[in-house]
Amino acid sequence: MENLNLFTSTQEVIKEALTKLGYDEALYELLKEPLRMLTVRIPVRMDDGKIKVFTGYRAQHNDAVGPTKGGVRFHPEVDEEEVKALSMWMSLKCGIVDLPYGGGKGGIICDPRTMSMSEIERLSRGYVRAISQIVGPTKDIPAPDVYTNSQIMAWMMDEYSRLREYDSPGFITGKPIALGGSQGREKATAQGVTICIEEAAKRKGIEIKGARVVIQGFGNAGSFLAKFMHDAGAKVVGISDAYGGLHDPNGLDIDYLLDRRDSFGTVTTLFENTISNQELLELDCDILVPAAVSNQITADNANSIKASIVVEAANGPTTMEATRILSDKGILLVPDVLASAGGVTVSYFEWVQNNQGYYWTEEEVNDKLRKKLVESFNNVYETAENRRINMRLAAYMAGARKMAEASKFRGWV
């Protein structure tokens, strides 16, 4: 039976990557689990006056390279294994784009779609109080993730600064510009995906102008990506949200859809004749971008994928078995740990700017991001070609190498 568990499937590929690199079993034992995993309980007074207790997590995978780094997600399906797997992916992302970080990740089991802004603020501040002893600008630096945004980061930074009794903008990234945020951060994940699409299209001989693009997910990354692709002359023929998908073989009116999406990325409920997310994935297109949730392309539907290029903007949208099927079909798959690294890269730029007190223009940020992502894409692609392996394994090898060497020099293995 196919392994759909994100944590154990990530362990499998890390082990394969370390074996390919010639490292011994001891290193895998070190990297197969986070170094630290904190579970917290957060009491919050709700608007009706009642106390509700939420469960939250913070995982720190490996800090051999430097402080850990990774987002905080607010979602009803967050669990410990997911947070552990995501922290491992963050370590790999940071290694792939050569950032001085290890991976971290956090989450709270909640549904912000059913909560007021004041309840979300109290929850955000309570989470920071609960994890404050293990985070900080030189320890572990949180950032936005699923259903969290710059306002939530602002509340978290303010709470941490109150606890420390000094202003600490470098504690967290993805902040509003007025509080030390970086130009280009909000669009960074989509910018990184766009760069990877451009590089992959060159390898496949596909012109972006006129290319048919399908995007699953219309949240932060998916909506910005749709705009970038539309502006580049591509035809976005399909998009979806949690409730279904929209398809037009002649190209959707992206500006119209962007004007009507809500803050959670929902837009399809305004339309009739929607299609399912599974139908969307199997549409005839040149470029498919899963930008929603995990385990969307599996062994059950991989053979029905018609795209020439799949670029993973979401975390873990393609299972390992599906990755092998797509590779056998000649589909170029750009893995999540590379394609979605734009967010953490510009978060790093924000942290650097906070530390030095000197801020860059959006053009400077975008230029630095492009240089990082193009170089990283080329390194991973060339490794895959030279070793005759898929880009996922090549990316894991690139990400694991830096952690492995840092751990060895520290004498941990």
Q: Which residues are catalytic?
A: 105
Asked whether residue 347 is marked as a ligand-binding residue, the answer is yes
Asked whether residue 235 is marked as a ligand-binding residue, the answer is no
d(CA 234, CA 210): 5
Asked whether residue 69 is marked as a ligand-binding residue, the answer is yes
Q: Rounded to the nearest 5°, which phi and psi values hold at 166?
A: -155, 155
Number of Cβ within a 10 Å radius of residue 22: 7
d(CA 408, CA 413): 5
Are 42 and 120 in contact by the 8 Å Cβ rule? The answer is: no
Write b or e for each residue in 117-150: b if 16 or more Cβ atoms lie within 10 A of its Cβ, otherwise e: eebbbbbbbbbbebbeeebbbeebbbbbbbbbbb
d(CA 234, CA 287): 10
d(CA 124, CA 110): 11
Are 147 and 137 in contact by the 8 Å Cβ rule? The answer is: no
**Cα-to-chain-centroid distance, residue 85:** 12
Asked whether residue 220 is marked as a ligand-binding residue, the answer is yes
Q: Which residues fall in the annotated binding site for substrate? A: 69, 93, 347
Bind-site residues: 69, 93, 189, 220, 347
User: Which residues are known binding-site members for NAD(+)?
Assistant: 189, 220
